[in-house]
Amino acid sequence: MSNSSGQGHADRSPADLAAEAASTIAELSGVEQHDIALTLGSGWGRAAEQIGEVVAQIPADQVPGFRSSAVVGHSGLLTSIRLADGRHALVIGARTHFYEGHGVRAVVHGVRTAAATGARIMVLTNGAGGVDPRFTPGMPVLISDHINLTAASPLEGATFVDLTDLYSPRLRMLARTIDPQLHEGVYVQFPGPHYETPAEVRYAGIIGGQIVGMSTALEAIAAREAGMEVLGLSLITNAAAGISESALSHEEVLQAGRDAEPRLAALLADIVPQLPERAER
Ligand code: 8IG
């Protein structure tokens, strides 16, 4: 890796690169400012079209600092959507995972770009394993808090950001008024890309986790640093290792995601238009 971002942007600060990406998005979409941003993980991809009218779809590799996604099932598009009330949502379908090895700057570039486009609310979604046995494949779960086991941070230098209420209580409440069935859980981000051992899943549970995954926590921290309000949602695609009898397969994970897509799309289409105008922090 030639620099800490791993992307050949050694001469630019993360903020400058995000600002550059945001102006490219404004140029290519014709939308000057976005209000809400969403990162759609495994299973959540179909939601974009249902949130509103698609104004522009931009291949991620045309936007500074983005790379087309390495994972099958991730689209690699930035989609600008116009809501019925005239607000604009930016859907980031190009997530860089920590395990890809491009550094934390690359992992959180999408979030920083979203903030630079003007978005005050960041909706982070993912596919994840269920540690809590009540959380079964196909179930969406609200993230109430996280435990970051990556031993990394997107913050550089003496940047002491408060993470109390990182996953906005009022946005969680809003989601639960829309779907009163929604459970909440603490998300544990492991570095991956291997799934956990059963012992690691037991550990995640003992330290207070209910969901395990390989994304989101680092992005949520960067979103908070950028002054955004965060809503986190996991789709449980599999019981975490050792919680059920069977072994994990990526194919099973993708299939659970495909099966749940219509329900998740409907959930997001209901939530997004009701998100508040301004971030509350
Ligand atoms: I989808 O069981 C998905 N992502 N760490 N563990 C971790 N990440 C995941 C899992 C899982 N399922």
Residue 117 and residue 22 in contact, taking contact as beta carbons nearer than 8 Å: yes
Query: Separation of 108 CA from ligand 1 center, angstroms?
Result: 19
> Residues 52, 56, 62, 63: is their CA dihedral positive or negative?
negative
pLDDT digits (tens, 9 = 90+) for 220-274: 999 999 999 999 999 999 989 988 877 777 787 788 878 888 889 889 999 999 9
Bridge partners, 56 (sequence order):
80
Active-site residue, selected from the candidate residues 49, 100, 184, 196: 196
Angle, to 10 degrees, between the axis of helix 217-225 and the axis of helix 104-116? 40
Nearest CA to ligand 1 atom 4: 128
Q: Which of 16-30, 139-153, 260-274 has the lowest mean pLDDT?
A: 260-274
Locate the DSSP E strands across the chain: 36-39, 53-59, 77-82, 88-92, 121-130, 140-148, 183-189, 211-213, 229-239
Which CATH class for the 14-274 domain? alpha beta
Q: Where are the domains of the chain?
A: 14-274
The reported pLDDT for the residue numbered 7 is: 46
pLDDT digits (tens, 9 = 90+) for 186-201: 999 999 899 999 999 9
Query: Separation of 127 CA from ligand 1 center, angstroms?
Result: 7
The predicted model gives 131-160 an average pLDDT of 94
